[in-house]
Structure 1
Amino acid sequence: MAAKPTTRVRAEIPSQYRWDFSPIYANWEAWEAGMREMDQRIDAFAKLQGTLKNGPEAVLAAYQAYDEIGKLQYRIYRYPQLQRDTDTRDQNVAGRFQRVGALFAKFDTASAWFTPELLTVPEATMSAWLAKTPALAPYRFPITEVYRRQAHVLDEKGERLLSLAARSNRASNETYSELSTSDIKFPTVRLSDGKDVTLTPGNYSALLSENLVQADRAAAAAAHVGTYGQTAHTYAAIYNGILQRDWFMARARNFPTTLDAALDENAIPRQVVETLIDVARHGTGPLQRYARLRQRLLGLPSYHLYDQFVPVFRSDKTWPYEEARKQAIASVAPLGKDYVQRYEKFVSGGRVDVYENEGKRSGAYNAGVYGVGPYLLMNYNDTRDAMFTFAHEAGHAMHTVLSYEHQPYATSDYTIFVAEVASTTNERFLLEHLLKQTTDPKERFLLLQEAVDAIVGTFYTQVLFADFELRAHQLVERDEPVTTEVLNQLYAGVLKDYWGDAIAHDEFYQYTWARIPHFFNTPYYVFQYATCFASSAQLFKAMNEGPKAQREAAVKRYTELLSSGGNDQPMKQLQKAGVDLTQRQTVQAVVDQLDALVTRMEAEAAKLAPAAR
Structure 2
Amino acid sequence: MTVATNRLPKRNEIPDEMKWKLEDIYASTEKWEQDYQEIKSHIVKIQGFEGKLAESAQNLLDCLKVQDQLAEKMGRLYAYARMRRDEDNTNTVYQALTDRAATLSVQASSATAFITPEILSIPEETLKRFMSEETGLELYHFVIHEILRSKEHILSPVEELLLAQAGELAQGPGTIFGMLNNADIKFPTIKDENGYEIELTKGRYIQLLESKDRRVRKDAFEALYETYRKQKNTLAAILHASIKKDVFYARVRKYESARHAAMDGENIPVEVYDNLIQAVHEFLPEMYRYVRLRKKLLGVEELHMYDLFAPIVKDVEFKITFEEAKQMIAKGLAPLGEEYGKILQEGFNSRWIDVFENEGKTSGAYSWGAYGTHPFVLMNWQDNMNNMFTLAHEMGHAIHSYYTNTTQPFTYADYTIFVAEVASTCNEALVLHHLLETTTDPRERMYLINHQLEAFRGTVFRQTMFAEFEKITHEKVEAGEPLTPELLCQIYRELNLKYYGPDMVVDEEIDMEWARIPHFYNAFYVYKYATGFSAATALSQQILTEGTPAVERYINFLKGGSSDYSINLLQGAGVDITSPKPVRDALEVFKKLLDEMEQLAAQVQ
TM-score interval (norm. to shorter): over 0.9
The runs of at least 4 aligned residues of structure 1 exceeding 4 Å deviation read: 2-7
Distance 1:4 1:593 in 2: 38
Question: What's 2:138 paired with?
Answer: 137
Question: What's 1:52 paired with?
Answer: 53
Match of residue 555, structure 1, among 551, 554, 558: 551
Q: Which moved more, 1:356-365 or 1:578-587?
A: 578-587
Correspondence 1:90 to 2:86:
no
Distance 1:557 1:124 in 2: 37
Correspondence 1:600 to 2:591:
no
Q: How far apart are residue 128 of structure 1 and its match?
A: 3.6
Correspondence 1:147 to 2:148:
yes
Q: How far apart are residue 5 of structure 1 and its match?
A: 6.4
Distance 1:203 1:101 in 2: 30
Distance 1:353 1:221 in 2: 27
Q: How far apart are residue 349 of structure 1 and its match?
A: 2.8
Match of residue 577, structure 1, among 565, 573, 586: 573
Q: How far apart are residue 288 of structure 1 and its match?
A: 1.1
Question: What's 2:403 paired with?
Answer: 402
Asked if structure 2 preserves the Cα contact closer than 8 Å seen for 1:138 and 1:411, the reply is: no
Helix, strand or coil: the match of 1:347? helix
Within-5 A mapping of 1:256-335? 256-313=256-313, 314-335=315-336
CA deviations 1:18-53 (Å, max 9, x no partner) are 011111111111111111110111011111112211
Within-5 A mapping of 1:346-385? 346-385=347-386
Q: How far apart are residue 604 of structure 1 and its match?
A: 2.1
Correspondence 1:215 to 2:211:
no
Distance 1:53 1:103 in 2: 28
Distance 2:425 2:476 in 1: 32
CA deviations 1:462-491 (Å, max 9, x no partner) are 000000011000011100111101100011
Q: How far apart are residue 282 of structure 1 and its match?
A: 2.2
Q: How far apart are residue 516 of structure 1 and its match?
A: 0.3
Asked if structure 2 preserves the Cα contact closer than 8 Å seen for 1:41 and 1:69, the reply is: yes
Q: How far apart are residue 553 of structure 1 and its match?
A: 1.4
CA deviations 1:63-100 (Å, max 9, x no partner) are 11011111111221122111110100011210121111
Distance 2:264 2:123 in 1: 22
Asked if structure 2 preserves the Cα contact closer than 8 Å seen for 1:4 and 1:320, the reply is: no
Q: How far apart are residue 134 of structure 1 and its match?
A: 2.9
Q: Which residue identity lines up with residue 254 of structure 1 in the other structure?
A: K
CA deviations 1:369-422 (Å, max 9, x no partner) are 110021100001011000000000000001000010110000000001000000
Asked if structure 2 preserves the Cα contact closer than 8 Å seen for 1:116 and 1:153, the reply is: yes
CA deviations 1:166-214 (Å, max 9, x no partner) are 11101111110111111101111124532222110121111112x1122
Helix, strand or coil: the match of 1:366? strand
Distance 2:317 2:586 in 1: 31
Helix, strand or coil: the match of 2:54? helix
Asked if structure 1 preserves the Cα contact closer than 8 Å seen for 2:335 and 2:547, the reply is: no
Q: How far apart are residue 215 of structure 1 and its match?
A: 2.3
Distance 1:435 1:221 in 2: 31
Question: What's 1:169 paired with?
Answer: 170
Distance 1:592 1:436 in 2: 20
| Residue-pair matches, total | 602
TM-score, L = length of structure 2: 0.97
Within-5 A mapping of 1:24-63? 24-63=25-64
Distance 1:109 1:63 in 2: 15
Distance 2:369 2:138 in 1: 24
Distance 1:123 1:142 in 2: 14
Correspondence 1:186 to 2:182:
no
Within-5 A mapping of 1:431-446? 431-446=432-447
Q: How far apart are residue 568 of structure 1 and its match?
A: 0.8
Asked if structure 1 preserves the Cα contact closer than 8 Å seen for 2:426 and 2:536, the reply is: yes
Distance 1:187 1:126 in 2: 62
Distance 2:269 2:144 in 1: 21
Asked if structure 1 preserves the Cα contact closer than 8 Å seen for 2:377 and 2:395, the reply is: yes
TM-score, L = length of structure 1: 0.96
Q: How far apart are residue 112 of structure 1 and its match?
A: 1.1
The answer for unaligned runs of 5 or more in structure 1 is none
Q: Which residue identity lines up with residue 105 of structure 2 in the other structure?
A: F
Q: Which residue identity lines up with residue 575 of structure 2 in the other structure?
A: V
Q: Which moved more, 1:78-87 or 1:136-145?
A: 136-145
Distance 1:593 1:306 in 2: 26
Q: Which moved more, 1:173-182 or 1:598-607?
A: 598-607
Q: How far apart are residue 501 of structure 1 and its match?
A: 1.1
Q: Which moved more, 1:301-310 or 1:409-418?
A: 301-310
Query: Identity percentage over the alignment?
Result: 36
Question: What's 1:457 paired with?
Answer: 458
The answer for unaligned runs of 5 or more in structure 2 is none
Correspondence 1:200 to 2:196:
no
CA deviations 1:125-177 (Å, max 9, x no partner) are 32343344332222221111010011100011110111121111011111101
Helix, strand or coil: the match of 2:367? strand
Q: Which residue identity lines up with residue 456 of structure 1 in the other structure?
A: R
Q: Which residue identity lines up with residue 557 of structure 1 in the other structure?
A: R
Asked if structure 2 preserves the Cα contact closer than 8 Å seen for 1:392 and 1:424, the reply is: yes
Distance 1:493 1:481 in 2: 18
Q: How far apart are residue 121 of structure 1 and its match?
A: 1.6
Asked if structure 2 preserves the Cα contact closer than 8 Å seen for 1:85 and 1:361, the reply is: yes
Q: Which moved more, 1:10-19 or 1:354-363?
A: 10-19
Q: How far apart are residue 105 of structure 1 and its match?
A: 1.1
Q: Which residue identity lines up with residue 586 of structure 2 in the other structure?
A: V
Distance 1:176 1:66 in 2: 31
Q: Which residue identity lines up with residue 121 of structure 1 in the other structure?
A: I
Asked if structure 1 preserves the Cα contact closer than 8 Å seen for 2:46 and 2:112, the reply is: yes
Asked if structure 1 preserves the Cα contact closer than 8 Å seen for 2:538 and 2:586, the reply is: no
Asked if structure 2 preserves the Cα contact closer than 8 Å seen for 1:17 and 1:349, the reply is: no
Question: What's 1:497 paired with?
Answer: 498
Helix, strand or coil: the match of 1:376? strand
Asked if structure 2 preserves the Cα contact closer than 8 Å seen for 1:83 and 1:93, the reply is: yes
Q: Which moved more, 1:455-464 or 1:585-594?
A: 585-594
What RMSD in Å do the two structures reach over aligned CA positions?
A: 1.3
Question: What's 1:254 paired with?
Answer: 254
Distance 2:513 2:519 in 1: 12
Q: Which residue identity lines up with residue 203 of structure 2 in the other structure?
A: G
Distance 1:349 1:287 in 2: 41
Within-5 A mapping of 1:465-504? 465-504=466-505
Within-5 A mapping of 1:498-537? 498-520=499-521, 522-537=522-537
Asked if structure 1 preserves the Cα contact closer than 8 Å seen for 2:76 and 2:369, the reply is: no
Distance 2:106 2:582 in 1: 41
